[in-house]
Amino acid sequence: MVSDSATPFRWNSPARSQFDVEAHAVQMTSVDGFPIGGFVWRRRDASGEPRPVVIINSATSVRCRYYFRFAAFLFRHGFDVIVYDYRGIGESRPASLRGFNTSWLDWGCLDFEAVIKYAVDAFPGQPIDVIAHSIGGLMLGLAPSNGLINSAVTVGAQYAHWRDYARHVRARMFLKWHLFMPLVTECFGYFPGKRMGWLEDTPKGIVRDWAFGSSSLEGRWRRRFSTGRFGSHVPVRQFQSLTAPLLAISLTDDPFGTEAAVERLLSYFDSTSQTHLRLISYLIGETGVGHFGFFDSRFADNLWRIPLTWLQTGQIPTAVPGRIV
């Protein structure tokens, strides 16, 4: 299952045309009526066995379009796919972010929940799988309908608890994400990420959760889940409603998704059978995977096969360069 060989980890390279698959735009309605924009890859011929439908949960302030080639890859291998943007981002961005109030709780309890319900209605009888990147893994635990999920894969999933950042860059990352970002946000009323070359423009409430809420998820967030404005609908035990087999993928050169960070989030999912696969980045045959590189198409012939195989078989491919934590 796991290999420590120095031989580059690679299957046959896919033809570039593999990614030339068009999606069509859709608009879903969140639980509170907010419009959620996204895209769907769907087989037109409905004959034969029902294809699973995969929902892709994005990282914080990363547009769903970033995952297009990965979605097309899944579609070519037998899955229908939904990508979407959380409110305030990309296809779900309002006319102005100034004064636009939202939070991670909204993204999970309302937006991701709406996409699950859309999948149930639009793809009747098809199993629902989820691939979640970064904060998308936290969303898995927040949606009231997460018990409908058949199988899940997370990539670098954690909730930006600064003490879990990679030690050699922890101080710099703390200054950047937990001090500088909220200060700039206070000046503009939102974080102008595109202007600065840092991700997408981001609503103020999301910046607040990233900078401050993540450090108190063990304390204040637990109380918010039980007594906040979502009331009894979002207790911590909502995480335990997820019973799908869960593969958590992390990489050794990811400064956010350290082993401690990924394990911290996994500890919330008490009802899943969990497998944490820690990939050794320098053995993959490419450089610079980090936190965002996994979904780059240069990894289609190696890394992408790992979640694909898990969704197809519930197994990890052989000769994967890493270890089970």
pLDDT of amino acid 123: 95
Cα–Cα distances in Å, from 286 out to 47, 154, 192?
40, 21, 31
Whether the predicted pLDDT of 3 surpasses 80? no
In a domain, 181, yes or no: no
- Of 73, 100, 137, 113, whose CA–CA distance to 309 is shortest? 73
Give the mean model confidence (pLDDT) for residues 54-73: 97
Within a domain: residue 140?
A: yes
Q: What percent of the chain has pLDDT over 90?
A: 76
Asked if residue 200 is part of any domain, the answer here is no
On the question of pLDDT at 267 being above 80, the answer is yes
The answer as to whether 174 is a domain residue is no
**E strand intervals along 93-187:** 128-133, 149-155
285 compared with 162, residue with greater pLDDT: 162
Domain-embedded: residue 60:
yes
The answer to whether position 211 is within a domain reads no
Q: What is the pLDDT of residues 84-123, one digit of tens each?
A: 999 999 999 999 999 899 999 999 999 999 999 999 999 9
Q: Give residue-wise pLDDT tens across range 225-263.
A: 443 334 444 557 789 999 999 999 999 999 999 999 999
Looking at per-residue confidence, does 280 or 286 come out higher?
280
Q: Render pLDDT for 199-232 as a digit per residue (tens, 0 to 9).
A: 899 999 999 999 886 554 545 455 444 433 344 4
Q: Domains in the chain: how many in total?
A: 1
CB count within 10 Å of CB 216 equals 14
Q: Is residue 224 part of a domain?
A: no
Residue 202 in domain: no
Q: Length of the chain in residues, anyone?
A: 325
Element (H, E) at 182: helix 181-188
Q: Which domain holds residue 57?
A: 16-166+234-324
Whole-number pLDDT of residue 14 = 46
| Identity at 83, one-letter amino acid code | V
Residue 26 has pLDDT above 80, yes or no: yes
Give the model's confidence band at 288: pLDDT under 50 very low, under 70 low, under 90 confident, else very high: confident
Q: CATH number of the domain at 36, please.
A: 3.40.50.1820
What is the per-residue pLDDT for 229? Answer: 38
For 288, the token pair is 């610079």
Give the list of residues 6+ apart from residue 273 with CB closer than 8 angstroms, or none: 245, 246
278 pLDDT exceeds 90? Answer: yes
